[in-house]
Every structure is written in structure tokens, then in C-alpha cells.
Amino acid sequence: MSASAGERVRGAGASLGRAWGRLESDQRLAAVASLLLLLSMFLPWYRKSETAVVRGHLDSISTSLNAFSVYSFVEAAIFVVALGVLGLLWARSERKAFHLPGGDGSVIMGAGLWTMFLIFYRQFDRPNSSGISVDVSVNWGIFIAFLLGALLAYAGFRIRAAHRPEPIADDVPPRTGETVPAPAAADPDQTIVARGRPRPRAPQPDPDGQLSFDEPAEYRPPPR
């Protein structure tokens, strides 16, 4: 491995570590369930039994098949669901701001329930078998995938119950508070009078043309 390839691998590992650290515990549970659901598709989902003539006598041959060996709409839908949930969680870890109908929890819970329905449907609509003496039955791997779909639905339910707000992107400016209107300017004609102090009276014009001021009343102590 060249130095540049090693640096890319280390950079990808560091990026995954940072993304994992930004996720909440419920989101990590959903990520683990989705990743394990993808890996479960390599487990034996089906068992193909066929009868063949071996050395002059009939013999039964059994073969295990994973989800990719009999790829159909069901397996493709489960594969897309698991990748979609991982992509959603990756976008949230990168603080991508977008809205999903019902929120992330409802979408992830719906993805888990949809996976469970598809696997349950596969119990009745099994892969087509070629040949008269060929029988295809389900194997233990498909039940593991069913349980992982239930785990994914549970993780989505926990995310939905947490009511976490959608992240705000780093490049979005913070929302400014509402501006408070400045107080109206005081009327210059109004006079502010201190409490307990009489309002000064304006000078009254004298009939002779001179201004006169009222003399203050003589102070008299209150009777005892």
C-alpha cells in the first residue's frame, strides 16, 4: 500500500470516528442495526434441496443460498433501506440541514417495519426454483435479518420519542433576536416633578407690566 493510499485510509477512519462521535446513542443503535442488516444478507437465507441421480441412485443435495444468490425485489428493497438509513445518519453527523416528513425517528422506524414486512412476505413468496425435484426453503439467516429489522424499528421509535430538533448547518448564520423599539423621546415641554416637591408656578404678569412671583407661604408647625 502506497503512502497516499495509507493516508486516505487513515483519513477515512478519522472521518468515520468523528461522525460516530457526533451521533446520539439512539442514532448509533440505528446505525449498528442497519450495518448488521447489510451483513446479514451474506448469511444463509434459503436452503435449496434437489434430488439428483448420483452413481445410479437418487440422492438429495442441499445448498445454502444468501440474499444475493436469489436477488429479487425483496432483497433489493432491504439493501436500499439499510443503505438509506446509514446515509441519513451520516448526513446528520455532518450537520446537514434538511427536513423529513415526520422526522428522522419516524422514517427510521418505518424503514424497520418495512424490512420486517418484506421478510415476512418472503416466507410465502419464496425464490423460484428451476427443476421438478428442486425445493427452496428459508434458512436461519433470514430470521436474523427479521430481528435486525425489529431492532431498527425500535431505534427509530426511540429517536422519535426523544424529539430532538433537526441540526442547523454550520454555515447558517444564527438567528438574531427581535429588535426592541427605542423609547420615544421625552416631550421637552413636559416637566418632571420629583415626588414630594411642589411644582414651581410660572411667573404671573403684573398689571403694571412687571413680572411678579408668589411669595412662599409662611411655615407653621402642626398643632400638638
pLDDT, tens digit (0-9, with 9 covering 90-100), for 108-118: 999 999 999 99
pLDDT, tens digit (0-9, with 9 covering 90-100), for 137-164: 888 999 999 999 999 999 999 999 988 7
**Residue 197 DSSP code:** S
Residue 86 is which amino acid? L
Question: d(Cα 63, Cα 73) in Å, to the nearest integer?
Answer: 22
More confident residue, 64 or 205: 64
What are residue 54's DSSP bridge partners?
A: 57
* Count of residues in the chain: 224
Q: Domain limits of the chain?
A: 12-45+67-130+140-162
Question: d(Cα 83, Cα 78) in Å, to the nearest integer?
Answer: 9
